[in-house]
Amino acid sequence: MTDTDVVLEVRDLAKTYPVRRGVVVKREVATVRAVDGVSLTLRRGRTLGLVGESGSGKSTLAKMLVGIEKPSRGEILVDGVDVTDLGRADRRRLRGTIQMVFQDPYTSLNPRMSVGEIVGEAFAIHPGAVPPGGRDKAVHELLDRVGLNPDHVSRYPHQFSGGQRQRIGIARALAVSPRILICDEPVSALDVSIQGQVINLLEELQDDLGLSYLFIAHDLSVVRHIADEVAVMYLGRLVETGQDAEVYDHASHPYTRALMSAVPVPDPTRRDRPEIVLEGDMPSPSKPPSGCHFHTRCWLAPTLADAVTDETRPDGARVPSVCRHDSPKLAPQESPDHLAACHFASDAARR
């Protein structure tokens, strides 16, 4: 693919929040680094899956892309144009290009509005999206496109199931004919069988409309069904990126390997890799570990440490000094497009 296929590019994007304390005078006592220098590329008609545990910064990144949050640093380019510091009018026009499908279909829809009002609200904000007098017809067509009965246009969200509500959310996002959808864990609140139906719908819409997706999830098995490329995020940073087959078949970061190990296998006897259990919780983004952010939970580092020359982490395990003091950069692995940020990526890939 050429550079003209790039519809969305993120360069060194960061978002920090000050932590203030005090009764009378609020003093800044710490800084939360929710997103810390992330760079991504999304291509036309493709799906980039963004994976990581809760608290890794995925949703904050999504909010910056649609203009809900303002970046502290970095650039967001849509079709090569920097949209980071748009004014209100320009931000509204941007939302005609980028829309968001939210995680929870139960809380992302206004319970006091009918389905027709929810889906048609976009036409009031963007009056040029439909011809005069064509609003009702457009709403009916959108409901039909996402697999809902257009005759239910006057019903309210509580009269629909969770999967149907998410379809309403997708219809609302499609109302202004966007080219990019930011899907923030759109199936995590749904039953497994319904998840498959919603993912199939998204794939059909992508084929029909040429949409590009940033699909955010914490479950690698879900992402595998829809993503062309995968990016793995930990504590605000990317730790591995690549084509889906490269990441799934040749994972080179210990964190990615641990996430893959958590994917259920129908027949345990067919599991071809050892089970990896991550110990402890993700560190606070206000006090990230020095060096490699993952070293405090890394299962690989203790197996590589020298009992004499290396250092002990808080849980008593020995880890290589380089892991505790030097932050690894994303570096090519088996191909130029497969990157991992680990000092011992080749060791992780062989385990």
The tens place of each residue's pLDDT in the chain, 351 residues long, gives 456 699 999 999 999 998 888 777 678 778 999 999 999 999 999 999 999 999 999 999 999 999 889 999 999 999 888 888 877 777 777 777 899 999 888 888 999 999 999 998 888 877 777 777 788 999 999 999 999 999 999 999 999 999 999 999 999 999 989 999 999 999 888 888 899 999 999 999 999 999 999 999 988 888 988 999 999 999 999 999 999 999 998 999 999 999 988 776 665 555 566 678 788 889 999 899 999 999 999 999 999 988 778 888 888 889 999 999 999 999 999 899 999 999 999 888 777
For 85, what's the count of Cα atoms within 13 Å in the CB-facing half-sphere?
3
Residue 260 placed within a domain? yes
Q: How far apart are CA 239 and CA 231, in angstroms?
A: 8
Q: Can you read off the two tokens belonging to residue 21?
A: 């304390």
Helix or strand (DSSP H, E) at 100? strand 98-101
Residue 318 placed within a domain? yes
Cβ 115 vs Cβ 121: under 8 Å: no
Residue 168 placed within a domain? no
Q: Can you read off the two tokens belonging to residue 123?
A: 């036409």
Residue 324 placed within a domain? yes
Instruction: Write down the residue that tokens 């239910």 correspond to.
Output: 152
Residue 154 placed within a domain? no
Cβ 206 vs Cβ 225: under 8 Å: no
Given this model, what pLDDT does residue 153 score?
A: 94
Closest CA to 186 of 174, 172, 170, 210: 170
Q: How far apart are CA 295 and CA 303, in angstroms?
A: 12
Residue 141 placed within a domain? no
CATH number, domain containing residue 238: 3.40.50.300
Cβ 29 vs Cβ 19: under 8 Å: yes
Range of the domain at 301: 3-22+30-97+178-350
Cβ 320 vs Cβ 301: under 8 Å: yes
Residue 289 placed within a domain? yes
Q: Can you read off the two tokens belonging to residue 214?
A: 């940033």
Residue 122 placed within a domain? no
Report residue 234 CA to chain centroid gap: 11
Given this model, what pLDDT does residue 127 score?
A: 74
Number of domains in the chain: 1
